[in-house]
Amino acid sequence: QAVVTQEPSLTVSPGGTVTLTCGSSTGTVTSGHRPHWFQQKPGQVPRTLIYDTSNKHFWTPARFSGSLLGGKAALTLSGAQPEDEAEYSCLLSYSGPWVFGGGTKLTVL
Amino acid sequence: EVQLVESGGGLVQPGGSLRLSCAASGFTFSSFWMTWVRQAPGKGLEWVANVKQDGSVKYYADSVKGRFTISRDNAKNSLYLQMNSLRAEDTAVYSCVGGAAADYWGQGTLVTVSS
């Protein structure tokens, strides 16, 4: 099965902008991989922030956006808040089977 | 209110078996693919298996293929995971996931494989 790669850790300043990426060992990530992004805080269940590349749930703060960038899926946080400190995981679908990335620990500092 | 409640976890010896259940409510269970996801202590999320709405199509991670079986009972709004030949590396919290965009997650049930 494919391997999905994410940055292990990133740091962003409060109010700053950061982009997390999600790559596939099989090549370019496309909308057909239906990229999803999940946020997980310690002791909590993951919640979906972005689905199908760029769609948001009603609970997704406007400062989060999803896109395809340079052959990868990307999650951009514009105007980081302290409460955005969390683990972010991407998910790619390979026509049925899923693969999660290893997760990015985002620090807001 | 959407609820996914897992049960059936526990301590099992290597080589043993467990059957996990997930009771769903608050949404049209039969309309969605359902998924099992696991998370080992201090590790990231790992997809385990998917099952189509009518149970006719199933996919498994290579790490569990041939040992785990996913199934569902739409009449009971329930999802199952039969786990055989368990290994230490299967130790994790197992969660059921559903919805059109993996919107719904259960709290999970802990499976510990140890002698």
B99: nearest CA partner in chain A: A48
- Classify B68 in phi/psi space as left (phi over 0), alpha (psi -120 to 50) or beta: beta
Tens-digit pLDDT profile for residues B7-59:
999 999 999 999 999 999 999 999 999 999 999 999 999 999 999 999 999 99
Contact check, Cβ <8 Å, A100/B62: no
Taking a C-beta distance cutoff of 8 angstroms, is the pair A52, A31 a contact?
A: yes
Tens-digit pLDDT profile for residues A3-13:
999 999 999 99
Tens-digit pLDDT profile for residues A55-74:
999 999 999 999 999 999 99
Strand pairing category for B34-39 and B45-51: antiparallel
C-alpha–C-alpha distance, residues A49 and A35, integer Å: 11
C-alpha–C-alpha distance, residues A47 and A40, integer Å: 7
Q: Looking at the DSSP assignment, which residues form a beta bridge with residue A22?
A: A73
Whether the per-residue pLDDT at A1 is higher than 90: the answer is no
Which residue among B50, B62, B106 sits closest to A98, beta carbon to beta carbon? B50
What distance in Å separates residue B3's CA from the closest CA in chain A?
A: 13
Closest C-alpha among A66, A17, A15 to residue A39: A66
Mutate to test the interface with B, among A25, A45, A53 (most CBs of B within 10 A): A45
Query: Residues 14-73, chain A: which have Cβ within 8 Å of B?
Result: 36, 38, 40, 45-48, 51-52, 55, 57
Residues of B in contact with A66 (CB under 8 A): none
Residues of A in contact with B4 (CB under 8 A): none
Whether the per-residue pLDDT at B71 is higher than 90: the answer is yes
